[in-house]
Amino acid sequence: MNDVPYIKQWRSSLFALFILSIFSTMAVAESPLWSATQTNEFSKDQILVKLKSNANASSLVNIYSDVGVSHVKTFQNIGISLVEITDQNKTVDEILESLNKYDQVVEYAEPDYMMQIDSIPNDPRFDELWGLHNTGQSGGTNDADIDASEAWNNHTGDSTLVVGVIDTGVDYNHEDLAANMWVNPNEIAGNGIDDDNNGYIDDVHGINAINDDGDPMDDNGHGTHVSGTIGGVGDNGIGVTGVNWNVKIMALKFLSAGGSGSTSDAIETLEYAIMMKTQHGVNIKMTSNSWGGGGSSQAMRDAIDASQNAGMLFIAAAGNSGTDNDASPHYPSSYDLPSVIAVASTDRNDNLSSFSCFGANSVDLAAPGSSILSSTPGNQYASYSGTSMATPHVAGAAALLWAANPNDSYADIKAKLMGTVDQLASLSGKMISGGRLNINNALGCDPNNPPNLQVSLAEAFSVYQSQAVVLTASLVNCANLTGATISVNFSNGDSALTLLDDGVAPDAAANDGVYTANWTPSNTGSTTANFSATHNGNNYPATRNGTVVETIVYTVNDQHSFDWVDISGTGTNLNLSDDSHYYSIPFEFNFYGQSYSDIAVGSNGGIYFEDTNLTLSNQPIPSDMTINTFMAVLWDDLNPGAGGGIFYEIQGTAPNRSLIIQWNEVPRFGINGNTSIQAILEEATGNIIMQYLDVNFDNASYDNGASATVGLQRSADFGQQYSHNTPALSDNMAILWSLNPEEPPAAGSLQFSQATYSVNEGIGSTTITVSRTGGSDGSVSVDYAINDGTATSGNDYSATPGTLSWNDGDSSNKLITVNIIDDNNQESSENFSLVLSNATGDATIGSPNNTVVTITDNDSGDDCAHATFSVADHKITIPMLDMPLLDSLTGEPNGNIAVLQAELAMTEGVGDFKMIPESISIIAGEEPNAECHASYSYNTRIMHFPFVDVASTIVLPPNIVIDGPIQVFEANLQQLQLYNEIFHLKDYTYLYELE
């Protein structure tokens, strides 16, 4: 199996989990502290399907009927369909598997995943709007804000510009929001009629995708809080003010009162926004998305891409797990689309908030997000914390900037926001811009100031040898400058690179001022990356220092000795159902060079290093998921809640302890049968042994790993896959993953001594040598086979396949004899090959394991006189013809004469030729040459030609058309009667075309 690491640029998995991750404090009373918990839940009644462009209605009816689903609706602007499951006897996995087999019409089918939030208590916090204007209140730092108050001297917004808030809805009656709520001009409120024919009744302020209606009232509070930061009415003497005093907020509800929502409902909100912009003329410029979590959904990405094509920004929270999104992507903020702005959070002292995610290549900029006061339902106000609160600061700023620059594109607005941030040491190397939002800078940006070279590579970076790193750079002055030349060289001796803005991967879009290149580090150790940008004759440098780390790759041995260590009676039962157990182990385990002492064991056959669980839908390795560092022992939809158990046990003493984890007689969801597998993690060596006692479910679709993934993953873009949805396993099998490869077997390796041989046709026979090197312990053997190439067995050579054997201690060379057949044909060199297979006795087959033998021709035709046939005048011209000399008295042959030239003309009969007497020229003293000269036999009355050259297409009996030029060997003319000069074509042999 494959033990080579896979490098991943980007891919989509089938998991989309949306969460509201906010920390909350009330100004007056205690309120919840929200935190995300992944549930792996998805709709059991519906799925998402994207069809290919060639799909037609009639074929879909048959496919859907066969699979057991029916069409619910299609998001026309995005091209994704919501499909209902009608066959209640099938699981979602079975439906997806069936649909994805119709790959001629189905681009993909994926679950309609759900999300969930849960809560723990927290105390009330601050009520000042420090993010807009920080004077040092409550222990903050003066001016650690977005300079909103300064910006308002220049602009306070545009009441015709619309921001879509995709969230839990909005309290559109709130005292500080009502005046800034978008109102559908073509809908009459409360009349129960879809006045504008857009598919929704009374969608006055937006839609509720959960109920498929026009009432997006907030029943959670989160969406109202977000909306207050974007566009709380300013200068009205009530409550708070938003970043944008004058703006319109379109409420797009897909999250319920309990904080749950589906991928399909999120897509529906984007579909509505696109429709209202492109078909109803609504000036919606962006959506604000303060939610996220889970893995990557292709359907969700396609929906965002469609909104981008409609000219909209998609502003998204970077996440609240405090982790690096480069290593563990957070969606939807991590989708690699130009219209996405991923927002991190800062606190009142301009530090990255403790909870905020970051990413040098995946997060764009930061904004205030800790203890942010804003509106909540029922004319209330509260302080929340989270990247959910940072995101609307950027959305409001983008709306304010767009109001001042109405002709700008989404790319222009994004570039200005990122190019005018306040650069902060606390954010350097943590995000692409390296800074916190400053809307006053963006509004008042002076294009005459010198540009700033921003690069994605962080200071003190750490990258892996031989693993591609995407480098981006932008020369920014109010916006990204195009027409620059940007390069980077490395002090460690790696080749210099030119970063391009041509839209060719890895560059996302041409001429957007973002220059991109792939760097695959070669030399390990400390290095300095020296960036240089040239624009209008001026040079702008940037320097980053870091380290290239040696890439660690496991050696895989799937022939390791099986040695089952049963702990089902002695180990600790984790009592898992469809979840995971996270606990500490008494030693540090080395996984891809990192040490871990906390282990999570999951129900679905995985081991990982954070408190979560692998999704039930197995993916190839590597994949972008919630967990990106793990061991997939048998990643499948296992169901210990229905039987069996999962156990762990520590055996041995330090420093040679082992952690044994055993899935014992665990069933797979939806079928009969169970599996028993285990993993052994060795303290001293770092080895991982995966053992498979029983991988037979009595169902070919799932047996032997047919529906599972086996392998190791270090990160979202690096892993080693043994198998994926392939029956590559067997009962009583063990796979050893080793950081320190085992010594090669003492039995040695068997290989040919040469990769090629060259022999002359006249040699008679030749010998091929097979050697044994690297050890001679034990008796070994290897099979060899002979395969035709351009040379064929029986015509050009003869040999018999067989087996070569060595006794214990024997390292002598073994010989294979091949007979070479010498023919009389002039021909080009020909070849055949030998190949080794089936080594026994612990020997391996080395390199080369095959050899090619070339036979060179020993026949020369340079002194031969060829006959020629002219199609134009139907004549055979013979330059040299050997004929018998007849005795004048007896009439019998007596010696030979040589005819220097003779011609035969074709008669009316096809294939009949007549000698032309006057063409004959006789010479004496020419010795006959049977191999080269044409000849005539008095006894057989046959004229034989060893060579006949034909200049063009010829028809030869029986009605064979041969395109010329060609060469005919062994042509024979039969004289019909002794004293009749008519010769009939008797037979011929066609060998090859003339060069």
Q: Which one from 112, 158, 167, 624 is the annotated catalytic residue?
A: 167
Q: Which of 168, 178, 144 is nearest to 393 (CA)?
A: 144
Structure tokens at 116: 């969930």
Token pair belonging to 347: 């606190």
In the set 205, 222, 724, 944, the catalytic residue is 222
Contact 187, 195 (CB under 8 A): yes
The tokens for 893 are 């042959």
**8 A C-beta contact, residue 836 and residue 770:** yes
Which residue type occupies 335? Answer: Y
Residue with tokens 């001026």: 538
User: Is residue 71 among the annotated active site residues?
Assistant: no
Q: Does the active-site annotation cover 388?
A: yes
Provide the 3-class DSSP secondary structure of residue 302.
Answer: helix
* Strand, helix or coil for residue 823: coil
CA-nearest of 619, 630, 627 to 725 is 619
Number of H helices, E strands in the chain: 9, 63
What's the full length of the chain, in residues?
A: 995
As given in the structure block, the two tokens for residue 954 are 């010829």
One-character DSSP codes across 591-639: ETTEEEEEEEEETTSEEESSS----SS---SS--SS--SEEEEEES-B-
- Spatial contact of 722 and 705, defined as CB atoms under 8 Å apart: no
The packing angle between helices 57-67 and 92-101, to 10°, is 140
Residue 222 annotated to the active site:
yes
Q: CA nearest 249: which of 166, 129, 145?
A: 166
The conformational region for residue 214 under phi > 0 = left, psi -120 to 50 = alpha, else beta, is alpha
CB 969 within 8 A of CB 989: yes
The token duo for 833 is: 């090959």
Residues facing residue 65 across a β-bridge: none
**For residue 835, how many other CB atoms are within 10 A of its CB?**
16
Per DSSP, the three-state class of 909 is coil
Question: Do the Cβ atoms of 243 and 442 come closer than 8 Å?
Answer: no
- Within 10 angstroms of residue 113's Cβ, the number of other Cβ atoms is 29
HEC sequence for 489-516: EECCCCCCEEEECECCCCCCCECCCCEE
The residue from 24, 388, 456, 658 that is catalytic is: 388
CB 488 within 8 A of CB 471: yes
DSSP β-ladder status, 246-253 and 157-167? parallel
Rounded to the nearest 5 degrees, what angle is found at the Cα of 891, between the Cα atoms of 885 and 893? Answer: 35
Per the CB < 8 A criterion, the answer to whether 402 and 408 are in contact is yes
Distance CA 163, CA 909 (A): 92
Residues 6+ apart with CB under 8 A from 255: 18, 20, 115, 167, 168, 169, 220, 222, 223, 261, 291
Angle at 179 between CA 176 and CA 183, to 5 degrees: 130
Please check whether residue 513 is in contact with residue 480, taking contact to mean a CB–CB distance below 8 angstroms: yes
Alpha helices in 193-310 (DSSP H): 222-231, 263-280, 298-309
Residues paired with 917 in a beta bridge: none
Cα–Cα distance for residue pair 50/45, rounded to 1 Å: 17
Give the active site residues. 167, 222, 388
